[in-house]
Structure 1
Amino acid sequence: MSPPSLKTRERLSEVRYEIRGELARRARELEARGRSLVKLNIGNPGAFGFRAPEHLQQAIAGQIAHTDPYTHQQGLPAAREAIAEFHRRRGTPNASPERVFIGNGVSELIDLSLRALLNPGDEVLLPSPDYPLWSAATILNDGRPVYYRCAPENGFLPDPDEIEALVTPRIRAIVLINPNNPTGAAYPRALLERIVAIAARHRLLLMADEIYDGILYDEARFEPLAPLAGELPCLSFGGLSKVHRACGWRVGWAVLSGDPLASGDFHHAMDLLGALRLCANVPGQFAIEQALFGIDTIGALVAPGGRLHETRRALVECCDASEHLALVAPQGALYGFPAVVGAAARGFDDHAFALQLLEEEDVLVVPGSSFNVPYRNHFRVTLLPEAPLLREVFARIERVLERRAQAGGRDAAARDAAVA
């Protein structure tokens, strides 16, 4: 007789993470059979030939003899001082090393911060679309995501009046992802000020995911949230993975700003949870000061002629040239979030499309509904490949969409004939 099945946590059934989910597993099966795929599902710079800057590598190498012991649960003192100073220069109020938490990537700190904040049944206001880790961490810490719309017709920016209409006594925090993943939207100052006012009126924690703060295109600007929040409790997240192309180092940080008296209990909770996991990866922390105050290596990549800028330009031009695609041009971050429109959009299902694209054209993308939106006609691609490869990818996408449009036209003609 076989042993009984090992039961898992029930709330996991509410969690999805298609970025590394079913489609990614199918991609691995195809690769095992010898297929060569273009995988645009993950914002992983190292997989596309990017390297962490040399001066950051040297900063770690020069301190490797000092990386064996555990460090303080909040991180190396010098690294926390560098992060605090960086935020002080931005105008973040009450930024001090004692209020900096270093984690194994921003992902770990998102989980720890929500665990420190939420009681069962508490709610968190999240953008739709969101980066799905935020939804997953809310659910797995016994909270409930409540989504505010960032509609494509509004440039993927939220409406503050709609945000405030969603506030109930159970809401504990407002999450902002700026620049946004998956849409590339960059939030203007006036919009952020209105959201801060909502948080102040309802005594909510502001949580600002700013991991893409240095990745901006053309005239777009990044507005940090903490200086606008003032004395209001605000948790600002950053790290080395995107701007500094060091995903595998797993170095992220969170800075708790605002009135220390108002967030004292939350600070202690974060410290306790950090102590329970002992400490974050130590070697990578030695690169933080150089990353924040050393040579700028992202500026040339996002400037006209730079690799990321040219790939973004390829994305915009490919979508503009297609009768099947519409795009809100990303202002920042590493992604595009095109919509399928017109004849190809009849009966369109984003997951079925992504699977068809993978099976027929060897391209892996992420269905838009994976980012907690109610519509199913978007998909996300990363801007990390070089521009010629992205143009080739969109030629393949165009072939699939053209086949879908033609099939839809034939189906419509058949239905019309049957009615006649």
Structure 2
Amino acid sequence: MDSGGGNVAWRFGAANPALAAASAQSIRSLVHRMYGCVDKSDPRPLAPLGHGDPSPFACFRTAAAAEEAVAAAVTSGKHNNYPTTAGVTEACSAVAAYLSRYLPYKLSTGDIVLTAGCNHAIEIMMAVLATPGANVLLPRPGYPLYEARAALGGLEFRRYDLLPENGWEVDIEGVEALADENTVAMVIVNPNNPCGSVYSYDHLAKIAETARKLGIMVISDEIYDHCAFGSKPFVPMGVFGEIDPVVTLGGISKRWMVPGWRLGWIAMTDPKGILRKKKIFDSIITYRSISVDPAAIVQGAIPQIIANTDESFFTNAMNKMREAAEICYQKLKSIECVTCPHKPEGSMFVMVKLDISYFDAIDDDIDFCCKLAKEESVVICPGSGLGMKNWLRISFAVDPSLLEDGLERLKSFCLRHAKPSTNQGS
């Protein structure tokens, strides 16, 4: 018997090649590649400035009330069953009430679909919109999962620019130039990952008016909702739902500092009901019925998480994030080869431009980040993965002392690799 199957004409092989391309576009894959470059023998602590996960650091621990709510949900024995397709009713009601606090109209339980994190919500929306010939407009720089999910579903995507000289605002004229009769939606991310910007009320109004003129919906990624610590307050895009239909994506990952709990949502912030008339909501429910569920335990805890978390937790968290952002901004200003066009005012990131001509034997941003990880145990996300070659995305959602240390190592690395003729200052 040929146990090796050497004479069999096997008909299977590698999976869908589009998966490899999609994976290569993911933040996780890109940052994981940088982690692979780290010298494990380096005695210094790793400075993880490549992704927005503050949860490992004691200064960013989630609210005690949130932990207690999950523990109570576990011990109650009431949340061990399969949840319904849209999500546990009480959880959907709690999310609807939470979002309604900041809107000029009230959302109902039926306006909410719970997801396994915001990434799952992105997957659903890109799948729902992937009708033959359709295209969506995505920001550059942007969160690459949108592109990966669009590509997997055969949905064309077109990139519009965010303008660093204007605080990373949307290039409205660029959006209008890109759109055609097959454009169905534009995506915005506010507060913004990867740029650290927060859009003003007036700018959001312009986006809504532009989308209305084009006859497209706005998908507003608000996973960093209320993570704003600069001069502009967070304004939900749903405030403009009367002007243009808005699908709001969100979750508890960032505001409660618990990305591993995987609880997100899709909200129909569309008081005129246009999305329902166009069967968008029905398609979302259909996709959810063949997709994964967020953990029933966390769904069961959501009403108490929202109700019992004291406002002081959010205030303290934003004070810490503001402190970290200030440390990051000031440290970056002292590094000659990087330019920070806009002080971060929200999310957990900042984008900086890298002057490759400053260096000797560094080819581009990816080469820079690989060598930085190997030599300094500092992990940063190269901008090429976000549509911005020779830029860097730096996360400041890190313990302040480790953040300072990591940025000092970044500065030392830059000086060490500068061309001999480069003016390095004193």
**TM-score, normalization by structure 1:** 0.89
Kindly state the Cα deviation for residue 19 of structure 1 after the two structures are TM-superposed. 2.7
Q: How does 1:11-30 map to 2 (within 5 A)?
A: 11-15=18-22, 16-17=24-25, 19-21=27-29, 24-25=32-33, 27-28=35-36, 30=38
Would you say 1:268 and 2:278 are equivalent positions? no
Q: How does 1:290-301 map to 2 (within 5 A)?
A: 290-294=304-308, 295-296=310-311, 297-301=313-317
* Other structure's SS at 2:219 match: strand
What's 2:237 paired with? 225
- Structure 2 residue corresponding to 1:339, chosen from 353, 356, 361: 353
For residues 156-182 of structure 1, give each alpha carbon's deviation from its aligned partner in whole angstroms, at most 9, with x where no partner exists.
112212211111112110100000001
**How many equivalent pairs are there?**
405
* Other structure's SS at 1:42 match: coil
What's 1:147 paired with? 159
Query: Cα gap change, 1:23/1:192 in structure 2, threshold over 3 Å: closer, same or farther?
Result: closer
What's 1:157 paired with? 169
Would you say 1:180 and 2:195 are equivalent positions? no
Query: Cα gap change, 1:23/1:87 in structure 2, threshold over 3 Å: closer, same or farther?
Result: closer
> Residue type matched to 1:17 in 2?
Q
Query: Cα gap change, 1:407/1:232 in structure 2, threshold over 3 Å: closer, same or farther?
Result: same
**Does the CA contact (< 8 Å) of 1:18 and 1:366 recur in 2?**
no
Q: How does 1:91-170 map to 2 (within 5 A)?
A: 91=103, 93=105, 95-170=107-182
For residues 319-377 of structure 1, give each alpha carbon's deviation from its aligned partner in whole angstroms, at most 9, with x where no partner exists.
1222222212111001122222385268751000001101111111110111123xx22
Kindly state the Cα deviation for residue 128 of structure 1 after the two structures are TM-superposed. 0.4
> Residue type matched to 1:336 in 2?
V
| C-alpha distance in 2 between matches for 1:138 and 1:92 | 32
**What percentage of aligned pairs have identical amino acids?**
24
Would you say 1:42 and 2:51 are equivalent positions? yes
Q: How does 1:50-65 map to 2 (within 5 A)?
A: 50-64=60-74, 65=77
* Other structure's SS at 2:419 match: helix
Kindly state the Cα deviation for residue 71 of structure 1 after the two structures are TM-superposed. 1.4
* Other structure's SS at 2:69 match: helix
For residues 256-315 of structure 1, give each alpha carbon's deviation from its aligned partner in whole angstroms, at most 9, with x where no partner exists.
122225434111111111122363211112332344343121211222xxx222211111
Query: Cα gap change, 1:20/1:278 in structure 2, threshold over 3 Å: closer, same or farther?
Result: closer
> Residue type matched to 2:290 in 1?
L
RMSD after superposition = 2.4
> Residue type matched to 1:364 in 2?
V
| C-alpha distance in 1 between matches for 2:396 and 2:329 | 11
* Other structure's SS at 1:66 match: coil
What's 1:413 paired with? none
Which structure has more RCO (C-alpha within 8 Å, separation ≥ 6)? 2
Structure 1 window deviating more from structure 2 (10-19 vs 292-301): it is 10-19
**TM-score, normalization by structure 2:** 0.88
| C-alpha distance in 1 between matches for 2:72 and 2:98 | 23
Q: How does 1:297-376 map to 2 (within 5 A)?
A: 297-303=313-319, 307-327=320-340, 328-341=342-355, 344=358, 349-373=364-388, 376=389
| C-alpha distance in 2 between matches for 1:237 and 1:209 | 5
Kindly state the Cα deviation for residue 72 of structure 1 after the two structures are TM-superposed. 1.2
* Other structure's SS at 1:232 match: coil
Query: Cα gap change, 1:31/1:289 in structure 2, threshold over 3 Å: closer, same or farther?
Result: farther
> Residue type matched to 1:357 in 2?
L
- Structure 1 residue corresponding to 2:83, chosen from 50, 71, 74: 71
> Residue type matched to 1:183 in 2?
C
Kindly state the Cα deviation for residue 135 of structure 1 after the two structures are TM-superposed. 1.2
Which runs of 5 or more residues in structure 2 are unaligned?
1-5
Query: Cα gap change, 1:66/1:29 in structure 2, threshold over 3 Å: closer, same or farther?
Result: farther
Which runs of 5 or more residues in structure 1 are unaligned?
411-420
- Write out the 4+ residue segments of structure 1 that deviate beyond 6 Å after TM superposition: none
> Residue type matched to 2:345 in 1?
Q
Kindly state the Cα deviation for residue 114 of structure 1 after the two structures are TM-superposed. 1.7
Kindly state the Cα deviation for residue 74 of structure 1 after the two structures are TM-superposed. 0.8
What's 1:418 paired with? none
Bigger fraction of residues in helix: 1
**Does the CA contact (< 8 Å) of 2:275 and 2:281 recur in 1?**
no
